[in-house]
Amino acid sequence: MNNLIRLTEHGPERVNEDLWTLALTGEEPADGPRILSLTAWLQCQPESVLSGQEPSADAVCLQPDDEAERLQPYLAVLPLIAVLFPSFRDGRGYSQAYLLRTRIGWTGELRAVGDVLRDQLSHMRQCGFDAFAVREDKSAEDAIKGLNGMSVLYGRSAIEPRPLFRRRASEC
Amino acid sequence: MYHYDEYDRALVAERVAQFRDQISRRLSGELSEEEFLPLRLQNGLYLQRHAYMLRVAIPYGTLSADQLRALASVARDFDRGYGHFTTRQNIQFNWIELEQVGDILARLAAVDMHAIQTSGNCVRNISTDAFAGVAADEVLDPRPLAEILRQWSTINPEFLYLPRKFKIALCSASEDRAAVMMHDIGLYLYRDAADEMLFDVMVGGGLGRTPILSQPIRRALPWQHLLSYVEAVLRVYNRHGRRDNKYKARIKILVKALGIDAFAREVEAEWQHIKDGPAELTRAEYERVAASFRPPSYPPQPAVDLEFGSALARDAGFARWVQRNTHAHKQPGYVSVTLSTKPGADMPPGDVTAEQMEQVALMADRFGFGEIRVAHEQNLVLPDVAKADLYALWQQACEFGLATANIGLLTDVIACPGGDYCSLANAKSIPVAQAIQQRFADLELLQDLGEISLNISGCMNACGHHHIGNIGILGVDKNGSEWYQLTIGGAQGKLSALGKVIGPAFSAEDVPEVIAQLAEVYREQRQGTERFVDTVARVGLAPFKARVYPAQEVRA
């Protein structure tokens, strides 16, 4: 995928040579590894992958109707999880990401794909995404500016489990 | 009232800068209107018929005198000299230019105000009783927990793109003055025998196209779990609420589709994961916020105030106003005063001029510890006024057109801005409201009719809450012309009820006379001191229908 931003320990970086291809219909031409829909992924994995004995060559992409909990048994074999935003106004991906990080226990790359735009990136980051495939017609360089968002978050997030009232208390 | 600290100020200041940047990217064409739309809505900015409208948040309807002055300055410098107070206790400015929004928000930020999440598919302004903290019938002050909820729901990253808007109200008085049962989440707050704060949680209320009153989902929720429980409800809704049809996207439709028991089980399962986590509220946080809401130190008042008594005896107009427009206070010798924004033909309901706002701020400084509330009935309230000051306050209010003695009466009309401003409206609201107010200008008649709430919405979205008006008026479009459908028997409060349609819609000209006929039927049918809504409940729609549709039997 082009137009990718990835969070690293040195901060956000643009990635131009990402090998993954989002292949939700299964018909997309792909030179490298593919990100499949949950249904397709479950269908085409060999038993050794499904039983957790060897890593999968394919990544999975959750669509808004998918239950994030269904990935629980496969965390050890998945190379990457993507979450699709078919429209940036569809907020289900935020809950999926939050659950993957805080409850299901996914620690690998969590990539937002689809209608991924600058003005939502900080919310995505706070819900646990660490990679953002910015919509192709937009500038990833520009979108990076949206990552920080506000310095104050009242509630908690996937990256800051303590709400502000607990952080406030620990300061004094 | 709540005092901002450095975090609150930083957040609001950064938000102004962020939205300024988004506006300039919209103006340069970098952002499409489609991309800009949810961003501007979450900053309170609508595009209406003639101009942009900016809705400014007034958290749970509480304002300081200085904040009201700032609103007056916005009305004067950026609008046409007035603002419109809404049924969510907010204020709207109707004639705003996009280029000026950043400056307006900066001016508001200087007095700790903002427009965050006053629109959009997110958690909206938290609302409560306009008399919170002072009402004689209150069990405890709901404002600290309302403020805690406000903070938690502000820019909460997971819940900014919900299926639809989400409204929360709290109440902790024996009378529900916050219309709790028509909210997505309604919270009744009380104390148990051990003095611990508990909530009865209601869910799935809402008006709009499919009016539904909320149902209890959980009784006796300990206050420490407020945030985690609301989070559980929101997460279930965000994941499972419908997104294919905006008219079926509110949580009430999900609750109805699943049934309250199945919905409650989903929420319970989600809540079990998070209830004892870091979202659990601490006593220290409650105390920190509650410290902002300590009552002022009220100078003691004489047990018998002869001057007040003689003013009442001397001046019938004053006595009527005191009877109608004041509300019982916790503190002996004090009352809360409602300043009516419904003078009749002079101003549309809820509209207040910049000069009036400044006068109200002065009245608040002089007579009311510098605080003002906005009622969801769109009136302004001075919560703490000594009875000894009422006469002077009344005279000042009279001078500025804010002393109409009609609180709770038929002319205290609740109305949305309607077709004069709103691009969603099917019909105008304001001229109909004013025609009704004119028809009932006779104060004797009005007093005789007693308590009748009358609500007008210009379309099915029901911003005027017509379903819960004792008399509800809904503007409908019939082949391009404006008609008005009437309901009767609606009620807010703990005995909430949805009004029933009485029959075919009327033209705008006919509405005042039809209302007069309904009032006549009530006067004939009532028993003793029975209110309009009680009479409707007892006798049903038939006598009312028979009067306003007399020809129907002939036709049949």
DSSP string, B16-29: HHHHHHHHHHHHTT
Q: If DSSP codes are grouped into helix, strand and coil, which group holds residue A144?
A: helix
**Distance (Å, whole) CA B39 – CA B47:** 13
A157 and chain B: CB distance < 8 Å anywhere? yes
Could you tell me if residue A164 is left (phi over 0), alpha (psi between -120 and 50 degrees) or otherwise beta? alpha
- Residue A161 to residue B278, Cβ atoms within 8 A: yes
Nearest to A74 by CA among A54, A94, A98, A95: A54
The verdict on A165 touching B (C-beta cutoff 8 Å) is yes
- Distance in angstroms (rounded) separating the CA atoms of residues B171 and B531: 24
Residues of A in contact with B8 (CB under 8 A): 152
In chain A, the number of structural domains is: 1
Domains of chain B and CATH, by start: 6-109 (3.30.70), 127-290 (3.30.413.10), 306-399 (3.90.480.20), 414-555 (3.30.413.10)
pLDDT value at B318 more than 90: yes
Comparing CA positions, the residue from A39, A18, A27, A42 lying closest to residue A109 is A18
Laid out side by side, the sheet with B326-328 consists of: B62-64, B371-374, B380-386, B334-339, B326-328
Task: Determine whether the interchain pair A165/B162 forms a contact, defined as Cβ–Cβ distance below 8 Å.
Answer: no
Given the structure tokens 């004995």, which residue do they identify?
A53
Q: Which of B10, B35, B162 lies nearest to residue A151, judging by beta carbons?
A: B10
Which residue from A minimizes the CA distance to B22? A119
pLDDT (tens digit per residue) in B482-519: 999 999 999 999 999 999 999 999 999 999 999 999 99
A120 to chain B: which residues are within 8 Å by CB? 161
Kindly state the average pLDDT of the residues B279-299: 95
Task: Kindly state the average pLDDT of the residues B316-335.
Answer: 97
pLDDT band at A170 (very low <50, low <70, confident <90, very high): low
A-interface mutation test, from B158, B237, B251, B276, most A Cβ less than 10 A away: B158
Q: At B304, is the pLDDT very low, low, confident or very high (cuts 50, 70, 90)? A: confident
- The helix (run of H) or strand (run of E) holding residue B15 is helix B6-27
Please, which residues have CB within 8 angstroms of residue B244's CB and are 6 or more apart in sequence?
none
- Exposed, middle or buried, A114 (CB in 10 Å: 0-12/13-18/19+)? buried
pLDDT exceeds 90 at position B199: yes
Separation of alpha carbons B282 and B144, rounded Å: 13
Distances (CA, A) of A150 to A145, B8, B9, B250, B512: 12, 11, 12, 28, 51
In tens, the pLDDT along B224-242 reads 999 999 999 999 999 999 9
The pLDDT value recorded for residue A101 is 98
Per DSSP, what are the bridge partners of residue B472? B455, B487
Mean pLDDT of the A150-164 span: 94
The pLDDT of residue B345 is: 83
Q: Are B497 and B489 in contact (CB under 8 A)?
A: yes
pLDDT at A169: 67
A90 to chain B: which residues are within 8 Å by CB? Answer: 161, 243
Handedness of CA B236, B242, B243, B246 (dihedral sign): negative
pLDDT value at residue B423: 87
A161 reaches B (C-beta below 8 A): yes
CB contact under 8 A, B157 and A151: no
How far, in Å, CA of B554 to CA of B550, rounded? 8
Q: What is the tens place of the pLDDT at every residue in B130-187?
A: 999 999 999 999 999 999 999 999 999 999 999 999 999 999 999 999 999 999 999 9
pLDDT, residue B102, reads 98
Residues of B in contact with A64 (CB under 8 A): 243
Interface ipTM: 0.97
Q: By the 8 A CB rule, do B260 and B175 touch?
A: no
**Mean per-residue pLDDT, A152-158:** 95
Q: pLDDT at position B375, please?
A: 95
A30 min Cα distance to partner chain B (Å): 30
Please give the DSSP secondary-structure letter assigned to residue B170: E
Check residue B192 and give its pLDDT: 96
Band of the pLDDT at B190, cuts 50, 70, 90?
Answer: very high
Q: What is the pLDDT of residues B18-56, one digit of tens each?
A: 999 999 999 999 999 999 999 999 999 999 888 999 999
A48 is in which domain, residue-wise? 4-171
What is the pLDDT at residue A30? 76
Look at residue B551 and tell me whether its pLDDT is greater than 80: no
pLDDT above 70 for B60: yes
Predicted local distance difference test score (pLDDT) of residue B50 = 86
In degrees and rounded to multiples of 5, residue B116 shows phi and psi of -65, 130
Q: Show the tokens assigned to B552.
A: 């129907």
Residue among A126, A152, A157 whose CB faces B7 most closely: A152
pLDDT classification of B294: cutoffs 50, 70, 90: very high
Average pLDDT over residues A118-143: 97
* DSSP one-letter string for B247-301: GG-SHHHHHHHH-HHHHHHHHHHHHHHHTTSTTS--HHHHHHHHGGGPPP-PPP-
CB B461 within 8 A of CB B208: yes
Distance from CA of B241 to the nearest CA of A (A): 10
Nearest to B22 among A119, A124, A127 (CB): A119
CA distance A33 to chain B (A): 29
Q: Mean pLDDT, chain A, as a whole number? A: 94
- Grade residue B288 by pLDDT with cuts at 50, 70 and 90: very high
